[in-house]
Structure 1
Amino acid sequence: MASGRALRFVSTVFMLNFCCSSVTSLYFHLAEGEQKCFMESIPYGTLVKGDYWTQLYDEEEEELSAATQDLSMHVTVKAPKDQLVLSQQNGSKGRFRFTSSRYGEHWICLRPNSLERPLSAGRMLAVHLNIRAGERANNYTEIQSRNRITTMLQLSVRRLYEQVQQIQSELDYDVIRRERFRTVNHNTNMWIFWWPVVRSIYVVLFIMFLTGSW
């Protein structure tokens, strides 16, 4: 009976916190040699996974076709202060993953790296990109199989614990962003307050200099 109530409690918490994880799905076009970057604001210690697949897009016919076998995609990830987190090369379909080592904006960039046969005129690459951050990036089926967690309650408690950690990390990041905003706001207000005073003193001194009335 107690076990049933615990399961219902865990399920309720899951539903309430379902939106706390970040999932981003993108579709975009890339010309040959072009690079596109996307910014993700990520808390510290957050697992991020991404997967992509490409197709060829004919602008005149507005049709999609399978990508060529010689296509390779170069993926780079940079943390704040331009710190390189990931640099890897896959084929026309691939995956990448990293764990953030600091708070802030991370840039995820994709660039087609090598084509033995250049794309003909009017053709581009159509890229499908999925990015999952936080709890959504974890494969709980794989975790259950690897660690031989046999009961649903054990797995649910573990998942709930990781969700709580993710929420705490996001809250900590929120505090840092609010503090940065308060600092910028304070500096701006001080500049607005002192600038007329400084300007007035400068005008008075300039007039006194011109008139020689020291």
Structure 2
Amino acid sequence: MLLTALLQIFACCLVLPAQVSAFYFYTNGGERKCFHKELSRGTLFQGTYKAQIYDDDLKGYRDAGAQDFGVVIDIEETFDDDHLVVHQKGSASGDYTFIALDSGEHKICIQPEAGGWLIKAKTKIEVHFQVGTDEKLDSKGKTTIDVLHAKVNVLNSKISEIRREQQLMRDREATFRDASESVNSRAMWWILIQLIVLAVTCGWQMKHLGKFFVKQKIL
């Protein structure tokens, strides 16, 4: 049992796509908060953030809107005299992506930015980030694309089946139309033949009756 449990833990560690971290911090107004991360060259750093503002009426934090304030994301290379490699301004919630160009310690800083009294308000910022290779972090996206691709293939097959059924219905309608036209044509010719036979019969009878009346000296 212990060996089985250890194997399961080891398997879970193998399938983990990347290092995932999440935390939150409080700031007063536009205070800048930073955290450090050691990244190797070519490492993909993906993060999301959400800012909340303290509401006195609610006695708690609520999600900040675009009209409240935005957030500035700065990423600096501390090993290269705090060289700024990313400077991004966004809304109160969003995401950011960065690929380390060199190995070393990086400083990721987050700062609310607004004017007026909001800059002095208490804010809470939640941060989530993943660290890993480009291939690993994109595996979820590739899986989603594969799923969507499979669904599109299913829809295409259904559309093809519907088109085949429509074509079959059109073929049946064409066969029925041809049969109806053939029957109508035959009926018309049959009526025409009957009229011709009737006319010939009437003419013969009239001629025969005329000779009979003449022979009987009726006419």
TM range (shorter): 0.5 to 0.7
Structure 2 counterpart of 1:133: 131
Give the alignment of 1:136-175 within 5 angstroms. Answer: 138-144=137-143, 146=145
Give the alignment of 1:31-70 within 5 angstroms. Answer: 31-58=28-55, 62-70=59-67
Instruction: Give the residue type in structure 2 aligned to 1:99.
Output: I
Structure 1 counterpart of 2:93: 93
* Higher Rg of the two aligned structures: 2
8 Å Cα contact 1:144-1:150 kept in structure 2:
no
Structure 2 counterpart of 1:197: none
Query: In 2, distance between residues paired with 1:119 and 1:30?
Result: 12
Query: In 1, distance between residues paired with 2:38 and 2:84?
Result: 16
1:79-117 superposed Cα distances (whole Å, 9 cap, x missing partner): 2212222111000011100111111111000111223x4
Structure 2 residue runs of 5 or longer lacking an equivalent are 1-7, 151-219
Structure 1 residue runs of 5 or longer lacking an equivalent are 1-10, 152-214
Structure 2 counterpart of 1:77: 75
Deviation at 1:130? 0.5
Instruction: Give the residue type in structure 2 aligned to 1:27.
Output: Y
**Could you state the TM-score of these two structures normalised by the residue count of structure 2?**
0.53
Query: In 2, distance between residues paired with 1:72 and 1:16?
Result: 37
Distance 1:46 1:14, change over 3 A: farther
Query: In 2, distance between residues paired with 1:20 and 1:65?
Result: 32
Distance 1:62 1:40, change over 3 A: farther
Instruction: Give the residue type in structure 1 aligned to 2:73.
Output: V
Structure 2 counterpart of 1:185: none
Instruction: Give the residue type in structure 2 aligned to 1:134.
Output: G
Structure 2 counterpart of 1:107: 107
Identity over aligned residues, as a percent? Answer: 22
**Could you state the TM-score of these two structures normalised by the residue count of structure 1?**
0.55
Q: CA RMSD in A?
A: 3.3
